[in-house]
Amino acid sequence: MKYLRLFITFFIPFFGITQSQDITTELYDTYETYKEESLNKRRIKHAEIAPLITKANINSKFKVTKVGTSIAGKSLSLISLGTGETSVFLWSQMHGDEPTATQAIFDILNFFDSADFKQEKEAILENLTIHFLPMLNPDGAELFQRRNLLGVDINRDALRLQSPESRTLKRVRDSLEADFGFNLHDQSTYYNAERTDKPATISYLAPAYNYEKDINEVRANAMKIIVFMNTILQQYAPGQVGRYNDDFEPRAFGDNIQKWGTSTILIESGGYLNDTEKQEIRKLNYVSILSAIYTIAKQNYTDIPISEYEKIPENDRKLFDLKILGATYELLGNTYTIDLGINQMEVDYEDHNTFWYSSRVFDQGDLSTYYGYETLDASAHTIKQAKVYPQVLNAMSAAKELNPLEVLRNSYGYLRVANIPATALNSPVPFHMIGKAYKVPELRIQPGVNPTFFLEKNGVLEYAVINGFLIDLKQKTPMIPNAMIYR
């Protein structure tokens, strides 16, 4: 009887989760079949999703409705399917530079357009009516910026409704009287799961609807769905799920939509090692959202205990792209031991389609409570100044004729170039390019500076850090995305 009670207590509440494991595994394994190949990078624009919306519009499986326009006149479309009584509403890219789930939405639409998973899709479409608003802020997406063209954060405009995009979201939510809402975002890649070195690849929140953070049935259902999704993701990104702080924000849409009676699940796509374009995270969105939709249709979530929600680690922000641990740093005749936290910051090209890197030291000192996507124990290494290559090159292209490893092994991190085109924004080789009159400053490491130096051990240079990227000088081909130009 004791073991029977244990079974009832711990297994039965998660029976719905167990039932959904098979479909989750199949969704993950067959993902490439449904991936929308025309969307393969983060900086997607309205013009790129417009043909996909047109394609859905002529497909009898979907209903497409123009529900509004952005400030610049770009159309806002709602794509609907299913005939069930339970209404599920998903909206993405409220912030223009947060497109991961937008891509996943079109993968999900491809899934529903296929002939596969017939039994599961019948269960979904007979029980649910699903509505997708894939790009709420197309003007922001055009510039790859958070805010809309008015400079307003749409997610802080739920009360005043100053922007047409905000008014559209409110009007659609109200017209649907949605039972469940998925508020789809991206978060900084520097979030980690609390007190771990794991990035918060996906973070969740069941937003509070008042300052007291009360839990009614609406919010409790959102918590149950999040517990379910967390269980799914632990199969593919173990330890890489976080939970946002649930302090009430009265201006935010998520908090208000919860308040208006829609069980609201905030999903934030963060970082994943070696996934710059967030394509693996896109896949995790696809799998977990579809699995959640299925469990809503089957109502398998109802017995999940909400106490499991609080067990998801909170989000923390203690990740760097590169953490250098315990390096010796010489300053004014004395030596010090410091850790360095370095972030490789993206800078958009003018067309906002691609980017280059301009890295910075973000913190230094004792960083023992911080983590890195890449970490180097430099406790036996001394930081050394990068020197200027003795030969002046006539043009940037001449740099490609040099042996980069030999240049770096001789502690040269800067190349002087006589003619640097005005249009050149960065260096395509693993050294900074400097103008004829530029004077390289004395090395002084502090937050905000571009991290460029060498690490020496027992008189031998072992590593170079150029524009915040670590280069092992024992490697044959040093590769970094770009270095800087200083004129």
Question: What is the pLDDT confidence band of residue 475, given thresholds at 50, 70 and 90?
Answer: confident
Over residues 70-78, mean pLDDT: 98
Separation of alpha carbons 165 and 157, rounded Å: 10
Confidence grade of residue 396 (pLDDT, cut at 50, 70, 90): very high
Strands 202-205 and 453-457: unpaired
Cα(459)–Cα(231) distance, rounded to whole angstroms?
51
Average pLDDT for residues 95-104, to the nearest whole number?
98
pLDDT of residue 5: 35
pLDDT for position 21? 61
- What mean pLDDT is reported for the chain? 95
Q: What is the pLDDT of residues 335-376, one digit of tens each?
A: 999 999 999 999 999 999 999 999 999 999 999 999 999 999
Asked whether 470 and 420 are in contact (CB, 8 A), the reply is: no
Partnered with residue 383 across adjacent β-strands are 455
SS3 436: coil
pTM attached to this predicted model: 0.94
pLDDT, mean of residues 317-338 = 97
Judge whether residue 11 has pLDDT over 80. Answer: no
pLDDT, tens digit, 9 for 90 and up, residues 431-445: 999 999 999 999 999
> What is the rounded distance in angstroms from the CA atom of residue 75 to the CA atom of residue 147?
17
Amino acid letter, 452: T
Domains in the chain: ranges and CATH: 2-316 (3.40.630.10), 319-486 (2.30.40.10)
Which pLDDT score is estimated for 4? Answer: 32
Give me the mean pLDDT over the 281-296 stretch.
98
* pLDDT above 50 (res 62): yes
